[in-house]
Amino acid sequence: MRVLSVVGARPQFVKLAPVADAFARDGVEHVIVHTGQHYDEGLSGVFFADLRIPAPDVHLAVGSGSHGAQTGAMLTALEPVLAEARPDWVLVYGDTNSTLAGAVAAVKLHLPVAHLEAGLRSFNRRMPEEHNRVLTDHAADLLLALAEVAMGHLADEGLAARSVLVGDVMTDVCYRVRDAVLAGGLPTVAGAAPGEYVVATIHRAENTDDPDRLRRIVAGLAAVPAPVALAAHPRLRTRAVEHGITLETGSIRVIDPLPYPAMVAAVLGSRGVVTDSGGLQKEAYLLGRPCTTLRGETEWPETLEGGWNVLSPDADGLADLALRPAPEGERPPWYGDGAAARAVARVLTERAIG
């Protein structure tokens, strides 16, 4: 069986890592296509190196652009690559423009498409990620869901017959890296010792592109009475300059985006996480640190139970929320036990046609 993975943005490299391992173990022929959506070393190359992912077989170097221009450029570039490779499955990951482009390019060529992380919904139709999820799920032939809530969403949309629950491959990689980090000891982050600081990230268009909203979030983080290590995505830096907003103010200490193992270590060493990232909300949950999410909704409603994750759409009261203690209750294993990638390899093998 030949599987062609389409990836392009940071969270997809994290998901690709355990899947590529499982394919190698099972002798699956694996072609990796990188669209080039993320091209900075800190958002791309370092993930391949740290997570020991095989180098992409094809790099499309599409780069940045408006949603339509970026997605369209990917479609154009992907078509001949998919046509030539003729894989048994095109595998797309998550909810980025690279996901949608991979799915559309494949269905147009009548190639079977599987969507990993299917069925997630925020129900916020203003998010580009939400369009990408819904459209990809409805285009794909096989929907690999990571939790029961996602299976429910797929069933509600009439997609139950194409859906399979496999667990979450991000749990696989998070636990693997956590164990390695704990063996090596926790780091100092932005000059702050383990147990003293908060980790923050902001990159969603809904938070960065409106100057008033970004100003409010930065003011909230600046007022946290502990060092806030803000790992700044390029979109955040660019928008802050455009809006005339200084990021390095009050408690905020701006640092570069962190490689995956360094982020896991930073979360483990933190008092809590403040973020609008999807992946980081779940990593905070898996690693047992309280998370404050700078959005009005989450794709991970399970993390809200017991107070591990709290939504803060207006960044009100952030100073207190960010430093609230970890809840005492258990964290149910909503996202599987770290064996999802093996399930992905098995399901794709069982369902390959021909």
Nearer to ligand UD1, 134 or 345 (CB): 134
Residue 314 region, left (φ>0) first, then alpha (ψ -120 to 50), else beta? alpha
Nearer to ligand UD1, 35 or 251 (CB): 35
Q: Which stretch binds ligand UD1 (CB under 6 A): 91-99, 190-198, 313-321, 341-349?
A: 91-99
Q: 32-71 mask for ligand UD1 (x: CB under 6 A)?
A: -----xxxx--x--------------------x-------
Nearer to ligand UD1, 9 or 31 (CB): 9
9 in contact with ligand UD1 (CB under 6 A): yes
* Among positions 5, 6, 7, 10, the unique one binding ligand UD1 when judged by CB under 6 A: 10
Nearer to ligand UD1, 64 or 188 (CB): 64
Nearer to ligand UD1, 208 or 251 (CB): 208
Nearest distance from C-beta of residue 257 to ligand UD1, angstroms: 8
* Among positions 45, 72, 128, 194, the unique one binding ligand UD1 when judged by CB under 6 A: 128
203 in contact with ligand UD1 (CB under 6 A): yes
Q: 227-246 mask for ligand UD1 (x: CB under 6 A)?
A: ------xxx--x--------
Of 115, 203, 233, 243, catalytic? 203
Determine whether 203 is an active site residue.
Answer: yes
* Among positions 5, 13, 46, 95, the unique one binding ligand UD1 when judged by CB under 6 A: 95
- Judged by the rule CB under 6 A, the positions of this chain that interact with ligand UD1 are 9-11, 37-40, 43, 64, 95-97, 128-129, 203, 233-235, 238
Active site residues: 203
